[in-house]
């Protein structure tokens, strides 16, 4: 076999959402900070296209690049590559990365619990893994500070008219809608329509509402639309289903860790969830993340929470992505049948 490029990948998923991890074959990108390196990956696009575009990737795939950390507390760092974005943080991808580091033997596993600090482009995340029998059974991630942005504001969406939405940040930026008000039950059969409508709502929210992170002005757009079902009280907090539409048009198979964090920030802002309480979030395929408010804090002078999310991850395979020097599509390709316009 001939190849002018060989990238070594350990594939994984977190509660259903794919989060592959590049463990070799790619040099760290240039940049003084991890955010600088993230910016290079986003603007250069060479690596993004190679691993995300077909024939190696697809709209369903996220890929994480392991790099040496910049912060002295961190044991490892990673840059997240999603279909359309290179975000500050991702809950499902952080669970995949932690699972690969421990189950893949890159970080020594301590039973019954392993603790480590990882660095995402948006900041440090502290990880606690419940480990048994040589397997990381459950990953707990202290996410980035999360906050409500706009509460109950009108949004004009073509074909829907005026709807009421919230916006929030949970390590990434969201427009949040009431699923029942739009006649969604958050079941698998609705996935295609949720994905398509979610892109339209996200586009409308960016055009009419916008978003700017108060401490990171480079993050100046809304990434996702979260369709949220009703909340039911539990002994420790609340539970509820949700489905997140990801550009250019797919539904997250997991409950989306950053969406869980953003929704807890909205609930905290409305007095619906207190410090120490939990939010049991269910995805469109029935998988679960557990969220918990660890403490209150501030981001740029506005009220915020420090959330914890937890879920399970599994390794699904080991791959070597290669490039034949005669391949006429070295950067791959995207077609509108799955990638949208």
Cα separation, 241 vs 187, in Å, equals 9
> Using one digit for the tens of pLDDT, what is the confidence trace for 212-222?
999 999 999 99
CB atoms within 10 A of CB 336: 9
302: which strand partners? 299
Average pLDDT over residues 17-38: 98
CA distances from 194 to 17, 40, 205, 240 (A): 16, 32, 16, 17
Are the beta carbons of 101 and 116 closer than 8 angstroms? yes
For 259, the enclosing helix (H) or strand (E) is helix 257-269
* pLDDT at 340 > cutoff 90: no
Average pLDDT over residues 315-337: 96
As a whole-number percent, the residues of the chain with pLDDT over 90 amount to 98
- Rg for the chain (alpha carbons), in Å? 19
Q: Tokens in use for 336?
A: 């509108």
> Using one digit for the tens of pLDDT, what is the confidence trace for 144-185?
999 999 999 999 999 999 999 999 999 999 999 999 999 999
Question: At which residue do the structure tokens 């395979």 appear?
Answer: 317
> Using one digit for the tens of pLDDT, what is the confidence trace for 123-136?
999 999 999 999 99
Q: Per DSSP, which regions of 283-312 are E strands?
A: 288-299, 302-311
| CB burial string 182-207: b at 16+ within 10 A, e below | eebebeeebbeebbebbbbbbbbbbe
Dmax over Cα atoms in the chain, in whole Å? 61
Catalytic-labelled residue, pool 3, 4, 90, 283:
90
For 48, the enclosing helix (H) or strand (E) is helix 46-52
Q: How confident is the model at residue 20 (pLDDT cuts 50, 70, 90)?
A: very high
* pLDDT at 239 > cutoff 90: yes
- Burial class of residue 9 in the structure, from the number of CB atoms within 10 Å of its CB (0-12 exposed, 13-18 middle, 19+ buried): buried
Q: Dihedral of CA 155/156/157/160: which sign?
A: positive
Provide the pLDDT for residue 153. 98
Nearest CA to 310 out of 94, 131, 18, 120 is that of 94
Provide the pLDDT for residue 240. 98
Q: What are phi and psi of 263, to 5 degrees?
A: -70, -35
Are the beta carbons of 70 and 120 closer than 8 angstroms? no
Mean pLDDT of the chain: 97
* pLDDT at 111 > cutoff 80: yes
Provide the pLDDT for residue 1. 83
* pLDDT at 341 > cutoff 90: no
CA distances from 170 to 33, 129, 261, 264, 285 (A): 21, 21, 5, 9, 22
For strands 237-246 and 278-282, give the pairing: parallel
pTM metric for this prediction? 0.97
Nearest CA to 309 out of 117, 170, 193 is that of 170
Average pLDDT over residues 274-287: 98
CA distances from 116 to 87, 126, 135 (A): 21, 6, 16
* pLDDT at 253 > cutoff 90: yes
Q: Is 261 a catalytic residue?
A: no
Provide the pLDDT for residue 237. 97
Helix (H/G/I), strand (E/B), else coil: 318 = strand
Nearest CA to 172 out of 122, 131, 138 is that of 122
Chain centre to alpha carbon of residue 175: 14
């Amino acid at each position: 076999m001939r190849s002018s490029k060989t990238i070594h990948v350990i594939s994984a998923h977190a509660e259903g959402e794919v989060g592959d991890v590049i463990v070799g074959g790619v040099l760290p990108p240039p940049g003084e900070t991890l955010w600088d390196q993230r910016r290079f990956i986003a603007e250069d696009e060479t690596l993004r296209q190679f691993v995300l575009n077909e024939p190696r990737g697809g709209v369903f795939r996220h890929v994480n690049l392991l790099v040496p950390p910049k912060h002295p507390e961190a044991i490892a760092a990673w840059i997240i590559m999603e279909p359309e974005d290179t975000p500050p943080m991702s809950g499902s991808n952080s669970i995949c990365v932690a699972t690969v580091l421990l189950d893949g033997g890159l970080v020594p596993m301590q039973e019954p619990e392993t603790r480590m600090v990882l660095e995402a482009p948006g900041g440090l995340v502290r990880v606690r893994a419940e480990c048994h029998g040589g397997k990381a059974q459950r990953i707990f991630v202290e996410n980035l500070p999360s906050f409500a942005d706009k509460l109950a504001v009108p949004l004009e969406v073509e074909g829907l008219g005026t709807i009421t939405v919230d916006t929030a940040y949970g390590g990434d930026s969201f427009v949040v809608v009431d699923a029942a008000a739009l006649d969604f039950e958050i079941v698998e059969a609705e996935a295609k329509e949720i994905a398509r409508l979610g892109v339209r709502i996200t586009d409308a929210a960016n055009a009419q509402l916008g978003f700017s992170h108060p401490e990171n002005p480079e993050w100046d757009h809304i990434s996702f639309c979260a369709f949220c079902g009703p909340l039911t009280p539990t002994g420790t907090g609340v539970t509820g289903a949700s489905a997140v539409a990801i550009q250019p048009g797919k539904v997250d198979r997991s409950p989306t860790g950053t969406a869980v964090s953003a929704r807890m920030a909205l609930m905290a802002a409305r007095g619906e969830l207190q410090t120490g309480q939990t939010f049991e979030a269910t995805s469109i395929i029935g998988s679960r993340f557990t969220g918990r408010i660890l403490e209150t804090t501030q981001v740029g002078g506005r009220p915020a929470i420090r959330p914890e999310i937890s879920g399970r991850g599994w390794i699904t395979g080991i791959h070597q992505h290669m490039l034949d020097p005669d391949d006429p599509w070295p950067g791959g390709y995207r077609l509108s049948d799955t990638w949208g316009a």
